[in-house]
Amino acid sequence: MTTELRPRSAADLADLVRAGELAPTAVVDAHLERIRSRNDELTAFITVAGDHACERAREIESTVEAGESVGPLAGVPIALKDLTGFREGIRHTFGCRAFSDNVATHTAGFVERLEEAGAIVVGKTNTPEFGHKPVTDNLLVGPASNPFDPTRNAGGSSGGSAAAVADGMVPIGQGGDAAGSVRIPAAFCGVYGIKPSFGRIPGAARPDAFRHHSPFVDKGVLTRSVGDAALALSVMAAPDPRDPFSLPDDGVDYLAAPERPIDGWSIAYSPDLGIFPVSEAVREEIEDALSAFEAAGATVEPVEVDLGAPLETLRDRTRYGLMQAFSAKIADSIERGRGVDFLGDDAEDVPREFRERIRAGRNLSPVDLGRMDGVRTGIYDGVQDVFAEYDLLVTPTVSVPPISNDSLDDVRVDGEKVDSRADWLLTWPFNMTGHPAASVPAGSIDGLPVGMQVVGPRFGDGDVLAASGAVERERPWDGAYDRLP
């Protein structure tokens, strides 16, 4: 990619395209060249849709040349997670070997909005099979590697999108977040990742519009800057009557939100949410980054958070149970709709862990699910107690720096082995509650990024963007990308 194009934000690229000063074909060509030069090492993309992207760029170029209006993302290359980011006519694998030749037959609603705004889909990014774990690795193409150290993982399950954004392959990456799947890879790859309030980015899933017995799976975006994330949200976040969970428009000005002042705000800081082991090095980086809020005029106070039960109880009765039920539902839908049986003839196409989740989910009863929601209510109440007194809650995003691709199942916090699926992720409690949350680049440990989680009150998406923007102004992180090849 040329020096002229590579540092450009999505906002800058779109402005230049709309003004006729930059051809969208040149923008796409430059980003495709970056993908070609780096994807073999990082495996950020499962599918590169070069022909589609070039054709779309020519269409937008003709529109600009004709003097017709184009949208706020005119000519901006975007990457879609190969899970919920359906785009008709482009290969869609769900990160699963059984679907290696599958092509999407429809376009997701939020993708339609992005394209209507002028964005150009350049490909589908790496994800574990059906997003089932907090790192990105699968039997189809292998791990998504970290641009800052390719021996390390990009995080998951939106790891491909995070790696692509960090490495400059695209300015905007789309992700999904059921337990931190946007924020975890954002922390690992040193980019900004936001999970807005549940229902802020609607979906129109069919044949089951309700999707899960209770909401916890969200959509989000990954970018190098807060402003680009706000730009993407301004396009994606709007009511959709096809989605029963879709939120009404509450008048938030997403584009202005990152510039809002936070002076006088009271911010609660919890190093561990009262339950998680966190490495000392990560804790030190986060506590150093808290100075950004104080420099912006806010006050920061340590707080004790009570989520209602020990980590093991919360993990087993909410995170695991809901994901087991979710996995069983996915498997049932695929078996009925596609004839693919992950517990039968097609078992070898998914990892053993995913098969175990399916079995466990099929054994859950309605009583089991009801009990989970009781435990989940304790998490919600504990978070709400914080917001009864404070404007924001800040934590580490994850407990450890990026982990090695060779030891994805062996996560250790200061030498102590922890459950690799849940115990190092301070993200998933906020999927249980629906609060908006983001991961902001906070620093580094031995050159590896560290993320700080910013959680807002219910429906406080603008507040999360405002606080994130304040951190970016006080502690800009864009210089870190200069270290990449």
User: Could you give the residue numbers annotated as active site?
Assistant: 81, 157, 181
Record the tokens describing residue 122, joined without a space: 């350049």
In angstroms, the CA 414 to CA 153 distance is 18
| Among 126, 122, 131, CA closest to 153 | 126
> Quick one: the chain helix, strand, coil %, rounded to 5?
40, 15, 45
What angle, rounded to 10 degrees, do the helices at 320-338 and 352-362 form? 100
Cα four-point dihedral sign 100, 101, 102, 103:
positive
> CB neighbours of 158 closer than 8 A, spacing ≥ 6?
81, 125, 127, 131, 136, 173, 174, 175, 176, 177, 181, 182, 185, 193, 220, 222
Alpha-carbon separation of residue 287 from 90, 130, 222, 277 (angstroms)? 44, 35, 24, 16
Six token digits for residue 361: 């989910």
User: 79: which 2 tokens?
Assistant: 């990457």
How many separate helices (H) and strands (E) can be counted in the chain? 15, 15
Residue 470 DSSP SS3: helix
Question: Is the Cβ–Cβ distance between 460 and 424 less than 8 Å?
Answer: no
